[in-house]
Amino acid sequence: MNAQSRATAMIPAHNVERAVAWYRDKLGIAPAKQDDYGANYELNGVQAFLYKSDFAGTAEHTILSFDTTDLDADMRDMRGKGVAFLDYDLPDLKTENGVASFGPVKNAWAKDSEGNILGFVQGM
């Protein structure tokens, strides 16, 4: 295996068409290519593949994270489009209004239409 090989994030979806619409309408991203097997995204040098799976939404962790320079503005925009951010109250993770702060780093999480957890990070 070549360590320089390109990696691809795999995003499961119960309904690929619904998920493609969610990513387009809520995040403003469209697939570079779509076929009967799924949808390929080119995300600033990172490849992601959205594919049909009965196991979509079963991961209890972040499956894909997006960097941002203005988390508050992005959250306002996404909330305006109907995205609900997750709140956590755990010993090592607490959110306030959907945001967890770790020094200069701020994180927020939301679920896509398929129940997959996405992260949004400022300051990494």
The answer to whether residue 14 is domain-embedded is: yes
Tens of pLDDT, residues 37-70: 999 999 999 999 999 999 999 999 999 999 999 9
Return the CATH number at 31: 3.10.180.10
For residue 1, what pLDDT is reported?
A: 61
Residue 35 lies in a domain: yes
- Band of the pLDDT at 97, cuts 50, 70, 90? very high
Q: How far apart are CA 24 and CA 20, in angstroms?
A: 6
Residue 34: give the domain boundaries. Answer: 8-53+61-122
- Domains in the chain: how many in total? 1
Coil, strand or helix at 25: helix
> Does residue 1 belong to any structural domain of this protein?
no
pLDDT in tens, 11-47: 999 999 999 999 999 999 999 999 999 999 999 999 9
Q: Above 70 in pLDDT, residue 95? A: yes
Nearest C-alpha neighbor of 92 from the set 104, 107, 77, 81: 107
Using the 8-state DSSP alphabet, how is residue 65 labeled?
A: E
In-domain check, residue 47: yes
